[in-house]
Amino acid sequence: MITRDELTGLILAGGQGRRMGGRDKGLEPFAGRPLVAHVRERLAGRVAEVLINANRNAEAYAPLADRVILDAEGGFQGPLMGIYSGLRAAHTPWLLVVPCDSPALPHDLVERLVADIGKCDIAVAFDGERLHPVVALIRTALADDLAAALADGERKIDRWYARHAWCRVDVSDCPDAFANLNTDDEKQRLERALSEGASGPGGKKEPLSP
Protein backbone atom coordinates (compact mmCIF):
# COMPACT_ATOMS: atom_id res chain seq x y z
CA MET A 1 0.00 0.00 0.00
CA ILE A 2 1.28 3.47 -0.91
CA THR A 3 1.79 5.56 2.22
CA ARG A 4 1.30 9.27 2.83
CA ASP A 5 5.06 9.84 2.79
CA GLU A 6 5.26 8.34 -0.69
CA LEU A 7 2.71 10.77 -2.13
CA THR A 8 2.98 14.30 -3.47
CA GLY A 9 -0.20 16.15 -4.35
CA LEU A 10 -0.30 18.42 -7.42
CA ILE A 11 -3.06 20.94 -8.12
CA LEU A 12 -3.10 22.04 -11.75
CA ALA A 13 -3.74 25.79 -11.88
CA GLY A 14 -1.53 26.80 -14.78
CA GLY A 15 -4.13 27.40 -17.49
CA GLN A 16 -5.16 30.62 -19.15
CA GLY A 17 -8.82 30.52 -18.04
CA ARG A 18 -10.02 31.48 -21.49
CA ARG A 19 -13.65 30.54 -20.82
CA MET A 20 -13.59 32.73 -17.73
CA GLY A 21 -12.40 35.77 -19.62
CA GLY A 22 -8.73 35.03 -19.02
CA ARG A 23 -9.06 35.18 -15.22
CA ASP A 24 -6.90 32.94 -13.06
CA LYS A 25 -9.42 30.17 -12.44
CA GLY A 26 -7.85 28.73 -9.29
CA LEU A 27 -8.21 32.07 -7.53
CA GLU A 28 -11.85 32.60 -8.51
CA PRO A 29 -14.06 32.97 -5.40
CA PHE A 30 -16.29 30.00 -4.63
CA ALA A 31 -18.43 29.79 -1.48
CA GLY A 32 -16.31 32.49 0.13
CA ARG A 33 -12.89 31.05 -0.71
CA PRO A 34 -10.71 30.59 -3.81
CA LEU A 35 -11.53 27.47 -5.83
CA VAL A 36 -8.06 26.10 -5.20
CA ALA A 37 -8.61 26.20 -1.42
CA HIS A 38 -11.49 23.72 -1.70
CA VAL A 39 -9.36 21.38 -3.80
CA ARG A 40 -6.43 21.61 -1.40
CA GLU A 41 -8.65 20.27 1.39
CA ARG A 42 -8.88 16.95 -0.48
CA LEU A 43 -5.08 16.59 -0.33
CA ALA A 44 -3.99 18.22 2.93
CA GLY A 45 -2.92 15.68 5.52
CA ARG A 46 -3.11 12.83 3.00
CA VAL A 47 0.10 13.58 1.08
CA ALA A 48 3.63 14.50 2.10
CA GLU A 49 3.56 17.77 0.18
CA VAL A 50 1.03 19.85 -1.77
CA LEU A 51 2.31 21.51 -4.94
CA ILE A 52 0.37 24.04 -7.00
CA ASN A 53 1.29 24.35 -10.66
CA ALA A 54 0.66 28.01 -11.52
CA ASN A 55 2.07 30.20 -14.27
CA ARG A 56 0.96 33.52 -12.79
CA ASN A 57 0.00 34.99 -9.40
CA ALA A 58 2.43 32.71 -7.58
CA GLU A 59 2.34 34.98 -4.54
CA ALA A 60 -1.43 34.49 -4.21
CA TYR A 61 -1.11 30.71 -4.41
CA ALA A 62 1.87 30.47 -2.05
CA PRO A 63 -0.14 30.41 1.24
CA LEU A 64 -2.11 27.41 -0.06
CA ALA A 65 0.85 25.25 -1.12
CA ASP A 66 4.04 23.81 0.25
CA ARG A 67 5.55 24.86 -3.08
CA VAL A 68 4.29 26.70 -6.15
CA ILE A 69 5.87 25.40 -9.35
CA LEU A 70 5.87 26.89 -12.83
CA ASP A 71 5.57 24.89 -16.02
CA ALA A 72 8.96 23.47 -16.97
CA GLU A 73 8.52 25.22 -20.32
CA GLY A 74 6.64 28.45 -20.93
CA GLY A 75 3.84 29.22 -23.34
CA PHE A 76 0.83 27.70 -21.54
CA GLN A 77 1.30 24.30 -23.18
CA GLY A 78 -1.55 22.58 -21.38
CA PRO A 79 -2.12 20.16 -18.51
CA LEU A 80 0.31 17.51 -19.73
CA MET A 81 3.11 20.03 -19.29
CA GLY A 82 1.78 20.78 -15.81
CA ILE A 83 1.81 17.06 -14.97
CA TYR A 84 5.38 16.75 -16.24
CA SER A 85 6.41 19.73 -14.14
CA GLY A 86 4.90 18.06 -11.07
CA LEU A 87 6.56 14.71 -11.80
CA ARG A 88 9.89 16.47 -12.08
CA ALA A 89 9.40 18.54 -8.91
CA ALA A 90 8.10 15.74 -6.65
CA HIS A 91 10.40 14.15 -4.08
CA THR A 92 8.24 11.04 -3.69
CA PRO A 93 7.60 7.90 -5.81
CA TRP A 94 4.01 8.93 -6.56
CA LEU A 95 2.23 12.08 -7.72
CA LEU A 96 -1.52 12.57 -7.23
CA VAL A 97 -2.89 15.10 -9.73
CA VAL A 98 -6.11 17.10 -9.41
CA PRO A 99 -7.48 20.18 -11.23
CA CYS A 100 -7.96 23.52 -9.47
CA ASP A 101 -11.56 23.88 -10.67
CA SER A 102 -13.27 20.83 -9.16
CA PRO A 103 -14.20 22.02 -5.66
CA ALA A 104 -16.52 19.07 -4.88
CA LEU A 105 -13.99 16.25 -5.29
CA PRO A 106 -14.57 13.34 -2.88
CA HIS A 107 -12.88 13.80 0.48
CA ASP A 108 -11.59 10.23 0.22
CA LEU A 109 -10.20 10.67 -3.31
CA VAL A 110 -6.61 9.97 -2.26
CA GLU A 111 -7.59 6.75 -0.51
CA ARG A 112 -9.63 5.58 -3.51
CA LEU A 113 -6.84 6.06 -6.02
CA VAL A 114 -4.24 4.48 -3.76
CA ALA A 115 -6.43 1.47 -2.98
CA ASP A 116 -7.20 0.68 -6.61
CA ILE A 117 -3.94 1.30 -8.47
CA GLY A 118 -2.68 -2.24 -7.88
CA LYS A 119 0.46 -2.92 -9.92
CA CYS A 120 -0.24 -0.20 -12.47
CA ASP A 121 1.84 2.92 -12.99
CA ILE A 122 -1.15 5.23 -13.48
CA ALA A 123 -4.67 5.22 -12.00
CA VAL A 124 -7.34 7.49 -13.50
CA ALA A 125 -10.74 8.42 -12.04
CA PHE A 126 -13.70 7.03 -14.04
CA ASP A 127 -17.21 8.25 -13.23
CA GLY A 128 -19.06 5.44 -14.99
CA GLU A 129 -19.34 7.33 -18.27
CA ARG A 130 -16.04 9.06 -18.84
CA LEU A 131 -12.49 9.26 -17.62
CA HIS A 132 -11.15 12.29 -15.79
CA PRO A 133 -7.52 12.30 -16.93
CA VAL A 134 -6.49 15.21 -14.69
CA VAL A 135 -7.60 13.24 -11.62
CA ALA A 136 -4.89 10.62 -11.49
CA LEU A 137 -2.19 8.89 -9.49
CA ILE A 138 1.07 8.62 -11.44
CA ARG A 139 4.43 6.99 -10.72
CA THR A 140 7.05 9.77 -10.77
CA ALA A 141 9.60 7.48 -12.43
CA LEU A 142 7.68 8.19 -15.65
CA ALA A 143 9.01 11.78 -15.77
CA ASP A 144 11.72 11.04 -18.35
CA ASP A 145 9.30 9.20 -20.60
CA LEU A 146 6.90 12.12 -20.47
CA ALA A 147 9.73 14.54 -21.22
CA ALA A 148 10.47 12.56 -24.38
CA ALA A 149 6.78 12.51 -25.36
CA LEU A 150 6.51 16.27 -24.88
CA ALA A 151 9.65 16.80 -26.95
CA ASP A 152 7.96 14.80 -29.72
CA GLY A 153 4.99 17.18 -29.60
CA GLU A 154 2.57 15.08 -27.55
CA ARG A 155 0.00 17.17 -25.66
CA LYS A 156 -2.87 14.66 -25.21
CA ILE A 157 -2.95 13.21 -21.72
CA ASP A 158 -4.89 10.07 -22.64
CA ARG A 159 -2.49 9.17 -25.43
CA TRP A 160 0.45 9.40 -23.06
CA TYR A 161 -1.33 7.32 -20.42
CA ALA A 162 -2.00 4.64 -23.05
CA ARG A 163 1.75 4.09 -23.39
CA HIS A 164 1.88 2.75 -19.84
CA ALA A 165 0.23 0.27 -17.49
CA TRP A 166 -2.83 2.22 -16.35
CA CYS A 167 -6.19 1.45 -14.81
CA ARG A 168 -9.57 3.04 -14.18
CA VAL A 169 -10.68 3.78 -10.64
CA ASP A 170 -14.46 3.53 -10.29
CA VAL A 171 -15.96 6.69 -8.80
CA SER A 172 -19.39 6.17 -10.35
CA ASP A 173 -21.09 6.50 -6.96
CA CYS A 174 -20.36 10.27 -7.00
CA PRO A 175 -19.99 11.42 -10.63
CA ASP A 176 -21.09 14.99 -9.88
CA ALA A 177 -18.08 15.40 -7.59
CA PHE A 178 -15.83 15.51 -10.64
CA ALA A 179 -17.52 18.40 -12.41
CA ASN A 180 -15.02 21.06 -13.34
CA LEU A 181 -16.04 24.71 -13.53
CA ASN A 182 -15.19 26.37 -16.81
CA THR A 183 -17.65 29.26 -16.84
CA ASP A 184 -19.22 31.73 -14.43
CA ASP A 185 -22.61 30.03 -14.93
CA GLU A 186 -21.24 26.63 -13.93
CA LYS A 187 -19.60 28.15 -10.87
CA GLN A 188 -22.79 29.89 -9.78
CA ARG A 189 -24.90 26.74 -10.26
CA LEU A 190 -22.61 24.68 -8.05
CA GLU A 191 -22.48 27.44 -5.44
CA ARG A 192 -26.28 27.40 -5.32
CA ALA A 193 -26.30 23.61 -4.98
CA LEU A 194 -23.85 23.89 -2.11
CA SER A 195 -25.90 26.48 -0.27
CA GLU A 196 -29.26 24.79 -0.92
CA GLY A 197 -28.35 21.15 -0.52
CA ALA A 198 -25.43 20.93 1.89
CA SER A 199 -27.11 21.81 5.17
CA GLY A 200 -27.28 18.98 7.67
CA PRO A 201 -29.11 18.72 11.00
CA GLY A 202 -28.93 21.87 13.03
CA GLY A 203 -27.84 23.86 10.01
CA LYS A 204 -24.36 22.35 9.99
CA LYS A 205 -22.75 22.37 6.56
CA GLU A 206 -21.87 19.00 5.12
CA PRO A 207 -19.64 18.26 2.11
CA LEU A 208 -21.22 17.93 -1.31
CA SER A 209 -19.56 14.61 -1.89
CA PRO A 210 -18.49 11.55 0.09
Three-state SS string over 91-144 comes to CCCEEEEEECCCCCCCCCHHHHHHHHCCCCCEEEEECCCCEEEEEEEEEHHHHH
User: 137 - beta bridge partners?
Assistant: 96, 123
Q: What does pLDDT average to in each consecutive run of 10 residues of the chain (210 residues)?
A: 97 75 85 94 97 96 97 89 98 98 95 98 97 98 98 96 98 90 76 61 33
Does residue 55 contact residue 14 with C-beta atoms inside 8 Å? yes
| pLDDT on residue 176 | 87
| pLDDT on residue 45 | 97
Phi and psi angles of residue 55, each rounded to the nearest 5 degrees, phi first:
-110, 10
Phi and psi angles of residue 131, each rounded to the nearest 5 degrees, phi first:
-80, 155
Does residue 90 contact residue 83 with C-beta atoms inside 8 Å? no
Does residue 101 contact residue 107 with C-beta atoms inside 8 Å? no
Does residue 154 contact residue 185 with C-beta atoms inside 8 Å? no
